[in-house]
Copies of this chain bind each other. A is one copy, B any other.
């Protein structure tokens, strides 16, 4: 029997969410956001992970389009890329109306509890 085709997340958005599902990778994004573009070394110093493992985390972020790299001498500077996160927000926005309604309901219930 031939192997089943992979059924795992493969779309662009899938990779973005999958990349965000790791505290290490989210921390990298935060570091780039707050500190601007940084070399691999600078970034890696924030983690206890072995260097090659950290390179792989960067690869995941790169393949999700969340960061880009620029070579400069023997260093590579990584930079936060805005588009995928903006896409996440676009994905999220139709849910916003929904949760405002739910939050409002909760508020009403709490008000009634206060009255009683």
Where the two chains meet, the residues of A that have a C-beta atom closer than 8 Å to any C-beta of B are 9, 11, 13-15, 17-18, 20-23, 26, 29, 33, 80-83, 85-86, 88-89, 91-92, 94-96, 98-99, 102-103
Q: By the criterion CB–CB under 8 Å, are B85 and A95 in contact? A: yes
> A6 CA to B82 CA in the complex, in Å?
31
> A9 CA to B101 CA in the complex, in Å?
30
Q: Tell me which residues across on chain B come within 8 A of A94, comparing CB atoms.
A: 33
User: A86 is contacted by which of B18, B83, B99 (Cβ under 8 Å)?
Assistant: B99
Q: By the criterion CB–CB under 8 Å, are A103 and B82 in contact? A: yes
Q: By the criterion CB–CB under 8 Å, are B95 and A92 in contact? A: no
Q: By the criterion CB–CB under 8 Å, are B14 and A17 in contact? A: no
Shortest CB-to-CB span from A31 to chain B, Å, is 12
Q: Tell me which residues across on chain B come within 8 A of A82, comparing CB atoms.
A: 95, 98-99, 102-103
